[in-house]
Amino acid sequence: MVKKARVSPWDLTALLNAADPKASLPERHLWLIRLLEWLRHAPVESEAQVTPTPVLRLKHLLGVLDRHPEHQTRVADVLRRIWSEVDNAALLADFGFAPRMDLWGELGRRVRARVLPLTPATSDLGELFALLFPHANDADWLLAIDDATLQRLRTYVAPERGGTAWRAPFLEAIVFLASAVRASGFSPSLRLRMSPELLVEKPFRQLARVAEQISEHAHSPEETAPPTAEAEAALLQEAQYLRALLDTCRHCADSVHDHLEAHGVSVDVVFEVDQLRERCHRIDALLNCVISPEPALEITRLLAELVRTADERRSVRALLSRHYSLLARQVAERSAETGEHYITRDRAAYRWMLRAAAGGGAVLAGTTFMKFAVLAIGLSAFWGGFWAGVNYAASFVIVQLLHFTVATKQPAMTAPAMAEKLTELNEDERVEGFVDEVVHLIRSQAAGIFGNLVMVVPLVLAVQFGVQAAFGAPLVGHKDAQHVLESITLLGPTALFAAFTGVLLFASSLIAGWAENWFVWHRLDSAIAWNPRIVARLGAARAARWAAYWRANISGFASNISLGFMLGVIPVVALFFGLPIEVRHVTLSTGQLAAAVGSEGFALMGQSAFWWCVAGIAATGVLNLSVSFFLAFRVALRSRGIRLNDRSRIYRALRSRLWREPLSFVWPKA
């Protein structure tokens, strides 16, 4: 066996000499990959250079082939054999699409593609294409190839000038794609969510039939003969009808989003809709190649688009960000609906907020003592964290059931409601309207915090002094009081822990939005109201009330229970991995400091350690609120595609309002 010499990918003469039509399939494909590497391998282009270097090298390559007939013959034979032996439909019809309408399956495929290497020993042109054009900027130089160069290049891959044989793979791909679009349109997950008015003409049923007709009429009786004028006119007419059907199919796909907005979001359905739309777009591009008087130009555009698709298919982040954006928006909108209730706009609502916050503070006073009780039992780390989570979750649920409020729960809910006001800020009136909302929000947060703290402090002190008077010792003793002074002081990691707690507050709002979306998506309210067994057991009227109750409160239960267990369990889990993370909640920390005062007496207030703890509580409140609000606000903005281009106008308006009406930030005018 004769061992072949290694071919340098940067030596054009060696590459041309290595062109062998009789070589094995992997060797021919590897030769083509090296040829394209030679086109790309060049010094960095200067800014003044108009024509990309790969295009200049392509012209040089064609010139060399024109001057050397022996190279020209071998290269043409290699390219024609590659084109004839690979599965063209794998590129034209399948490349860029998931084989199954499953987001997680596509995610797994992309992860494998990033980890596992590809091989040129394949007849799948889609897999080979990813090796031929591995860079996104390959699309730029492909689009820069001029018409004259394209015509010269065409002789090597499609020598039958004037014939229709070159159309065959494009027409076949159109038929394959039309069948896939029809299957998607008939799938229950989409069909049942499309607008019935748009489905009256049955566009998906007609699509595959019209694609077959175009495929049948696009060929000449003799493939090497040019098509007749009558055949071309008929083809253009059928192509126009196919495009009208494609447009209707896209409108049908768009109508699915309207259903999702109203009835909950599924990322798998969003993924399937996107696949349907992209297949319709690919059929349009293939149709352009078939009917265009300059097919070489349209084919080049298609190749450039496929190069961008190849780059996108390697991105896991792009897949998740695109298909979870609608879910993020829906979750944010569910939170926005809840958040509107936390924004006070008049004195009546402000007084209600104070009363609700005071009630929440009273409940959290009991939570404070329960926390000390759990610590006093001396459970193992996990069970201590678990029962602390039960304590927090039960307290938050009681607050919800009694229609009270906790100030730190508000920002993550109100942020999406604020983001909704940012959709249009082109006019000064809209900017002032947004500033009004900011003022209402800050005032509501101030009322929430004041109501929580004004109740938790006296209640904790009253219990401490009352128990001491009755039994001779307070519930929280000296040892626990010293621990409080050491843990919540600003001189320690309190600020970091408070910011981390803000992240957990934000996470609970996401869980709440997701739970409500899941509840709506599965139509559980309808099931509770109309399921025969439930109706037989509860009665129709009670079942309807239960359905309405759970529809209105599912997000609250999900948020409160998840937050409680995250506050209790996550620090324990983090400690298991060597991360000494704790939580700092402003109301609970205030209750703990009040318990320390009740243990040590009011003389404690004369010590610097006490005031450092007060400063730590102030920082905790600011970070709890700001971090959770900032994260929720960012998610709401990104899910809506909003960019704050007018930040300076908003800042000026806020400063002006603060200067003119400072009291409006803490007390309503009417």
What is the residue extent of each domain of the chain? 1-85+133-162, 333-521+577-665
Q: Looking at residue 536, what is its pLDDT?
A: 92
> For 612, phi and psi rounded to 5 degrees?
-65, -35
Please give the DSSP secondary-structure letter assigned to residue 226: P
- Per-residue CA distances from 200 to 239, 249, 626 (Å): 21, 12, 51
440: CB partners within 8 A, 6+ apart: 343, 344, 345
Tokens representing 545 are 């009330």
The distance in angstroms from the start CA to the end CA of the chain is 96
Nearest to 280 by CA among 258, 304, 301, 253: 253
For residues 640 and 631, what is the distance between their CA atoms, to the nearest angstrom?
14
Buried-state track 119-154, b at ≥16 Cβ within 10 A, e below 16: ebebebbbbbbbbbbbeeebbebbbbbeeebbebbe
**What span, in angstroms and rounded, lies between the C-alpha atoms of 441 and 654?**
13
Tell me the residue type at 321: S
Rg (CA), the chain: 34
pLDDT at 228: 67
Q: Are 590 and 462 in contact (CB under 8 A)?
A: no
Q: Could you give the CA distance from residue 411 to residue 81 in angstroms, rounded to a whole number?
A: 65
Q: How far is it, in rounded angstroms, from Cα 465 to Cα 474?
A: 7
Could you tell me the two tokens for 609?
Answer: 């350690």
432, 653 Cβ separation under 8 angstroms: yes
pLDDT at 437: 76
CA pseudo-torsion sign 29, 35, 39, 42:
positive
For 124, the 3-state DSSP assignment is: strand
Long-range contacts of 15-20 (CB under 8 A, 24+ apart): 16/64, 16/65, 16/68, 16/71, 16/74, 16/75, 17/71, 19/71, 19/74, 19/75, 19/77, 19/78, 20/74, 20/78
3-state secondary structure of 87: strand
For position 189, what pLDDT does the model report? Answer: 86
Cα–Cα distance for residue pair 39/274, rounded to 1 Å: 34
Say which CATH topology domain 333-521+577-665 has: Glycerol uptake facilitator protein (1.20.1080)
The DSSP code for 22 is T
User: Which regions in the chain score pLDDT beneath 50?
Assistant: 1-3, 5, 44, 47-48, 159
